[in-house]
Structure 1
């Protein structure tokens, strides 16, 4: 029993590492475009996503905010029930959806367009409705999830987290955000 558990854990990690190892080669013009849009944003970066994408999105928003880029998370369902009012024309939205076809997008995208809010996509399906509507697409696709049934988001959530970190760190470095800046936003420590 112990050996079976260890093997399952190791196999999961190996599959996730394999999928994650493909991410660096996906960074290109869209990554640079997304980073530049964030760098030149006069407002805040609004991160949104549903399900596991939403959980990872909260972490990405927190990482951006703690490294010099004002950001917050808005749940798509809440956005459709009044929280779109929190988003201003000088903001940027980073929407995370592996499928790129979250139903909420059908209602959110036109509202973003009405306010001239730049939409960035983090998706496993770059040609999805989300990908096609976005000014830049960050490809987090995987060939297979680490779940034995290939159903539970595992490899794809790792890729999402890593892409978010890559974006946040690129923007942080471009801003010249340093240890003193970090200390100011972390008065109780890191």
Structure 2
């Protein structure tokens, strides 16, 4: 086992190698890159991305990125393509072929078949004189000096370069399409990122009980209401209108003082200016308010009327925090 110092040195060297390679890619962004973006943007079809080995894995990731940012894409393994999957390619599709060497046997066989269909081909390759580079309509240069692998064999820096070019394509297309955060949420409805963009306070609050007491309710009624609903608070309501809030913290502070338990009412304990949020606000806004005021629950109002409570635990459960 190598020493801790040696392991850290190797890791830093790998990252520096890959970072330097990415910086060099900046100089490779040329007219072919611009034309590739325009081609995909103006296409009426999808983007079909293909490759073999590690390049195939990168192809899958680029497909996922493009799909999630509004550019319809599919993955096609180059070996499977020449054994029947060519049927995936439709008339208006644009094909991106990824290969470090540009001479992979499956890709060499695939290229003329795609050209016979009349589809445009974009190459992402590290060999600008390869069969793939000279056959493609547009070439995106992914040349690297050396792999991070000490034997210069395992695809490491080269796949990082391919991935970065794919990200650059996807983000350029995202900008051309004016793809907004609302659009993003449509494609990520089940994830935490999407929830931050679409989940509303009301959707969360409606799943909770709506603890409330009247101004004249006694201490026992207040304690029972807060305890029964397990949200750490109860709104003080009169004719649907919010008058205040009582939290478990308010109860603790009250109990630490000298009070007449027989005569105290909700009106005596409540905070008269509770923090609140509108029913239609985004849940992520509720989190911001809680953090700003260092509180764990918020009153929810709908058209000015008490509509429930939202607790920070609700937001944790939803993955917002």
Q: TM-score, normalised by structure 2?
A: 0.58
Q: Which residue of 1 aligns with 2:44?
A: 42
Give CA deviations for 1:101-146 in whole Å, capped at 9, x if unaligned: 1111232122211211110000001221101111111101101111
Q: Provide the rounded CA distance (Å) in 1 between the counterparts of 2:116 and 2:96.
A: 17
Q: Provide the rounded CA distance (Å) in 2 between the counterparts of 1:42 and 1:97.
A: 26
Q: Provide the rounded CA distance (Å) in 1 between the counterparts of 2:157 and 2:111.
A: 27
- Whose RCO is larger (CA < 8 A, sep 6+)? 1
The structure with more strand, counted as a fraction of residues: 2
Q: Which residue of 2 aligns with 1:55?
A: 57
The residue matched to 1:74 in structure 2 has which SS? strand
1:4 aligned residue (3, 6, 11)? 6
Counterparts in 2 of 1:85-100, with a 5 A limit?
85-100=87-102
- The aligned length equals 190
Q: Provide the rounded CA distance (Å) in 1 between the counterparts of 2:38 and 2:137.
A: 11
The residue matched to 2:24 in structure 1 has which SS? coil
Q: Which residue of 1 aligns with 2:175?
A: 173
2:33 aligned residue (12, 31, 35)? 31
Measured after TM superposition, the shift of residue 83 of structure 1 is: 0.6
Whose Rg is larger?
Answer: 2
1:128 aligns with 2:136: no
Give CA deviations for 1:1-54 in whole Å, capped at 9, x if unaligned: 111111111111111111111111110101001101110111110000111111
Q: Provide the rounded CA distance (Å) in 1 between the counterparts of 2:135 and 2:63.
A: 21
1:155 aligned residue (154, 157, 162)? 157
Which runs of 4 or more aligned residues in structure 1 lie more than 2 Å from their structure 2 counterparts after TM superposition?
Answer: none
Question: For the Cα contact (< 8 Å) 2:108–2:132, is it kept in 1?
Answer: no
Q: Which residue of 2 aligns with 1:146?
A: 148
- For structure 2, the 5+ residue unaligned runs are 194-321
- For structure 1, the 5+ residue unaligned runs are none
